[in-house]
Amino acid sequence: MKKMTKTAKIRNLFAKGKDVTWKTLRTKFDLQSPASMVGKLRNEGMMIYENRGSKGVSYRVGTPSKAVIAAGQSALFGAQGYTA
């Protein structure tokens, strides 16, 4: 049986829909830079939001807002009269 990569394990963790702390990514998955992994997953198309609070940084997967979608369309296709 093929072993899952760290990226696949973390993608599955985010898919559960719960908040994932920076500390969890750092310790459980032995990542030197959790923010780098989050950036990689964002580049793959996951909409990951960062929450900073008194207990530290946590991440969660969410649905992009209309404004984010409009900005993406504008970046790809130029301004064509889209409004958010």
Q: Per residue in 33-62, pLDDT tens?
A: 999 999 999 999 899 999 998 889 999 998
What is the pLDDT, as a whole number, of residue 7? 93
What is the pLDDT, as a whole number, of residue 75? 86
Using CA atoms, how far apart are residues 27 and 11, in angstroms rounded to an integer? 16
What is the pLDDT, as a whole number, of residue 78? 80
Q: Report CA torsion sign: 41, 42, 46, 47.
A: positive
Which H or E element spans position 58?
Answer: strand 56-61
Asked if CATH classification 1.10.10 holds for the domain at 6-77, the reply, yes or no, is: yes
DSSP H helices, 1-84, are 6-15, 22-28, 34-43, 66-77
What is the pLDDT, as a whole number, of residue 22? 93
Rounded to the nearest 10 degrees, the angle between the axes of helix 34-43 and helix 6-15 is 80
- Say whether pLDDT at 82 is over 70: no
**Average pLDDT, integer, range 12-30:** 93
